[in-house]
Structures are given as structure tokens and as C-alpha cells.
Amino acid sequence: MQKNIVLTGITPSGTPHLGNYVGAIKPAIDFAKNKDLICYYFIADYHSLIKVWDAELRKQYTREIATTWLSLGLDQNLDNILFYKQSDIPQIMELNWILSTMASKGILNRAHAYKSLVNKNIKNNESDRDKSITMGLFNYPILMAADILLFDAKHIPVGKDQVQHIEIARDIASRLNHVYKKNILTLPEAKIDKMSATILGLDGRKMSKSYKNTIPIYSTEKKLRKSIMKIITNSQLPDEKKDPNNSTVFTIYQNFASDVEINTLKEKYLAGGMGWGDAKQILYEKINNELIGFREKYEHYQANPQLIDDIMNEHGVKARHIASQNISKIRNLIGI
């Protein structure tokens, strides 16, 4: 039986934060523990070109992501995992062009990211509704389809915002299969169960880089504590009974604690007598405990960046080998 292939990409456009940990990294590491799955995880550095225009920053984000994933327990020695950089796989670019000849422009016109920029231009009464929109942004879903279809991936763990992109990849794949009369490309499916997990940020909105309300995964204990102490609460006094369902501190705690621990904290909220400082201290200790081993590994990799480069290079070679076999089949099919 052919093993199911899970594939997902991470765009290097920011420093990894706890929202990424809960929504993407943790579930991805868990998938990789299932030996019946083959997992391809990659850093989508070409995708980042549409929004990060600083070369040094791109390198920094790329290294931080690689270091974070490996330090959090993605085991590079497991033989069902590949963890590579998109730019190390030139075949993705080759497939990108082939797929663009199968992609319907009408569907891309309706892609959310593009449409929202067009709507903004219309709202601002711009005479050109495509003002400041690059072809990179417009073609983004085709490149994503190439990432996925090149590796025959079936399950694509993504957040809800990416589901439309997976639909577009399916559409492109079935068109190519139909035109060249062979089911050569696997139709991918979005897997959003665990990936849709979100965590609240310091201000009680969804944790997101764009809201500037994130807690970085890597920081010192002191800084971690300081940011947790900044979580916004109401002004209830320590004696007062508190509503756990209306508390950012409690909600974030649920992302990390066991059911028993969650219940214990809930009772403390309902009983009264616990100040916000105490609740935050409990949350800090929980998160900090989860990150102690991670922090040491992260610092080790930081002190030896060559280790990260070596792992990415080694996995790049393996992924390239598979990519080159798969692209040959496609070239053959289309007569090139």
C-alpha cells in the first residue's frame, strides 16, 4: 500500500510565535510520529518574496524557523520526514510554469488575497484596480500548487485561510490529468482539524504577527514572564470570583495544560481569592516548563548554525532526488 503523504509549507515572514507552535508546529510534529505517514515540511522562501523585501531578514526568518522546528522535536533522523527549503528544489519552479498553463485565470481572479487588494483599490477610487499588485501575489496559488503536486501529497495541514489555495491546486491538477489523459497528479485535500487551533494573543485577539500581540517561542525565561504579565485582563481584585470563559489567561492556559490542570485552574477562578498576577504566574510556569528543553536545543543550534545548514542541505538532496524523478514523469507525459 502506498503511504499517505502529508505536506505543508511555512513562509519565512516573521519570528515563530506561540500561535505558530499551537496551530502548526505541534500538530506537524505529531503527524510525523505516525509511521504510516510520510511528511514533507518545507520553508517556503520563494513565497516570502512577495512580502519580505529584505534579504538579511529573509535569511534570519528562515534560520529561526528551521531552528525552532528542529529544537521543538521535529526529528530529522526519522526516515518518514523531509524538512527542506523550497528554493533547494528547482523542479518546483519548473512545475510552476507547467501548472500555470493549466490554471484558470478566472479562478485566480477570485483568490481571496488578490481580491481583497483589488477591493481596496476600488474602495480608494484608484483608476487602476490592479495598482501595486504584483504578478507574484497573483500567481501565489500556482506556486503553492507546484509545492504540493510535485510530491504527490494527499493531506495538506493548513489554517482555514489556506483552504481556497488547496482547492485551486485540486482544480489545476484535475485539469492537467484531464488534458493529458492520465491521472498523474494526486488531488490534495486540506486538513484543517488540528491546524485550525488558534491561540489568543496578549490583547485577547487571535495571536497574529499583524496585531503585534504575539509571544515568541524562543525567549529567555525573564522575557517570557514579562510578556505573559502583559496579557490584558479586567480590573477585578484578587478576592473576586472570576469567569474563566472570559479570560485570555485561562484561554491560553487551555492550549498547554491537561484536562485535570485546566479544571484545577477553573476552580480557582470560580472560588475567588486568586489575583491576576497569580493566574499569570501559573500560565507562565506551564508554558515555561514546556519550553525548557527546547530553549537549550535552540541555543545549541544558534551557537552552531552550521548544524542547521547541514540538516537542511541533507534533506534538500533527498527531496531533490524525489522531485527529479517526479518531474521526469510529468515531462515525459507532456512531451518535453
d(CA 164, CA 136): 17
For residue 49, the minimal CB distance to ligand TRP (Å) is: 12
**How close are the terminal C-alpha atoms of the chain, in Å?**
30
Beta bridge partners of 81: 39
From the centroid of its chain, how far is CA 31? 14
Q: Shortest Cβ distance from residue 147 to ligand TRP (Å)? A: 4
Total binding residues toward ligand TRP, as defined by CB under 6 A: 12
Query: Per-residue contact track with ligand TRP, 107 to 146, x per CB under 6 A?
Result: -------------------------------------x--
Nearest distance in Å: CB 185, ligand TRP: 14
Residue 39 engages ligand TRP in binding (rule: CB under 6 A)? no
The 225-264 contact track toward ligand TRP, x by CB under 6 A, reads ----------------------------------------
C-beta neighbour count of 298 within 10 angstroms: 19
The number of beta carbons lying within 10 Å of the beta carbon of residue 17 is 22
4 DSSP 8-state letter: E
Distance, CA of 146 to chain centre: 17
Stretch that binds ligand TRP, among 61-69, 155-163, 207-215, 260-268 (CB under 6 A): 155-163
Q: Of 19, 28, 31, 47, which one interacts with ligand TRP (CB under 6 A)?
A: 47
DSSP character string of 268-308 = HHHH----HHHHHHHHHHHHHHHHHHHHHHHHHHHH-HHHH
- Per the DSSP assignment, residues forming a β-bridge with 157 are 191
Q: 8, 186, 213, 214: which one contacts ligand TRP (CB under 6 A)?
A: 8
Rule CB under 6 A: say whether 185 interacts with ligand TRP: no
Name the residue among 178, 102, 177, 176 with its Cα closest to residue 141.
Answer: 102
Q: Which stretch binds ligand TRP (CB under 6 A): 8-16, 63-71, 107-115, 309-317?
A: 8-16
For ligand TRP, the binding residue among 29, 32, 66, 158 (CB under 6 A) is 158
Q: Which of 5, 9, 69, 150 lies at the binding interface for ligand TRP (CB under 6 A)?
A: 9
Among 6, 11, 23, 91, indicate the residue that binds ligand TRP (CB under 6 A): 11
- Residue with Cβ nearer ligand TRP (72 or 144): 144
162 or 214: CB nearest ligand TRP: 162
CA distances from 53 to 13, 46, 57, 332 (A): 10, 11, 8, 37
Cβ-count burial 258-275 (b if 16+ within 10 Å, e if not): eeeeeeebbebbeeeebe
